C-alpha cells in the first residue's frame, strides 16, 4: 500500500471512531469502505418511492489528496464537479425554494469557522444512458482541510426525515473540522 493511501485510511479510521460516538438524529448504519465512510439509513423508503426496500438516504464521506493543478482552488474544484455531474446524471427540475438554480443545479459557498464549504444541490432521476429511477435529491458539500479535499455526498430518496438527515451531514462535517 502506498504511504498516502495508508495516511488517508488512518484519517478515516479516526473519523470513523468519531462517527461511532456521535448521537445522530437519524438512524444510520455506518459502513467503512476502502476510501470512504458510508452512512445508510436504517429506514426504508415506502411505496411508491421504492419498490425494492431502498433506504431513505445514503451519505458517503470521502477524502483525497488535492490535484496540484487545483491546489486550494475550491471554486475550480466545484466547477469540475458540476461538469462531471452534468456529464454522468440526468438532472431534473430543482424544486427547493432556497436558491435560484442555474440549469437545475444550485451551488454556493459559506464559511464554517475558518473553512470554506462549497455546496452543490440538484435532483437526478438516473444516470445518463441508464434506466430512469425515482427522483433523488443530492447535496454535496466540498471543503479543503489539512491539505485534503473532502466530499460529503448526501442522496435522499424519501424526505420524511430530511431535516435530521441534513443536520447529521453537517454534524459529521463539523466533527471532521474539529468544531464539536
Task: Decide if 109 contacts 118 (C-beta within 8 A).
Answer: yes
How much is the pLDDT for 48?
A: 77
pLDDT at 1 over 50: no
pLDDT digits (tens, 9 = 90+) for 87-125: 999 999 999 889 999 999 999 999 998 999 999 999 999
At residue 47, the pLDDT reads: 81
Q: How far is CA 3 from CA 7, 10, 97, 148, in A?
A: 6, 11, 45, 15
pLDDT tens across 54-91, in order?
Answer: 899 999 999 888 777 767 789 999 999 999 999 999 99
Average pLDDT over residues 37-44: 92
In the chain, where the domains are located: 3-177
Tell me, what DSSP letter sits at residue 156? E
Three-state secondary-structure class, residue 100? coil
- CATH 3.40.1000.10 assigned to domain 3-177? The reply is yes
pTM, to two decimals: 0.85
- Does the pLDDT value for residue 14 go beyond 60? no
Amino acid at each position: 500500500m502506498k504511504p498516502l493511501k495508508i495516511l488517508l485510511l488512518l484519517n478515516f479510521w479516526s473519523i470513523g471512531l468519531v462517527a461511532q460516538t456521535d448521537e445522530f438524529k437519524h438512524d444510520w448504519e455506518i459502513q467503512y469502505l476502502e476510501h470512504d465512510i458510508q452512512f445508510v439509513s436504517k429506514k426504508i423508503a415506502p411505496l411508491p418511492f421504492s419498490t425494492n426496500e431502498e433506504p431513505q438516504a445514503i451519505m458517503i464521506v470521502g477524502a483525497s489528496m488535492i490535484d496540484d493543478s487545483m491546489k486550494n482552488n475550491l471554486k475550480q474544484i466545484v466547477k469540475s464537479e458540476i461538469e462531471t455531474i452534468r456529464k454522468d446524471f440526468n438532472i431534473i427540475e430543482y424544486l427547493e425554494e432556497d436558491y435560484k438554480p442555474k440549469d437545475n443545479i444550485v451551488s454556493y459557498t459559506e464559511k464554517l469557522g475558518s473553512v470554506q464549504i462549497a455546496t452543490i444541490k440538484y435532483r437526478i432521476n438516473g444516470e445518463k444512458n441508464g434506466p430512469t429511477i425515482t427522483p433523488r435529491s443530492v447535496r454535496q458539500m466540498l471543503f479543503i482541510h489539512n491539505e485534503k479535499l473532502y466530499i460529503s455526498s448526501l442522496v435522499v430518496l424519501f424526505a420524511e426525515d430530511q431535516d435530521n438527515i441534513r443536520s447529521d451531514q453537517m454534524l459529521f462535517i463539523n466533527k471532521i473540522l474539529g468544531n464539536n
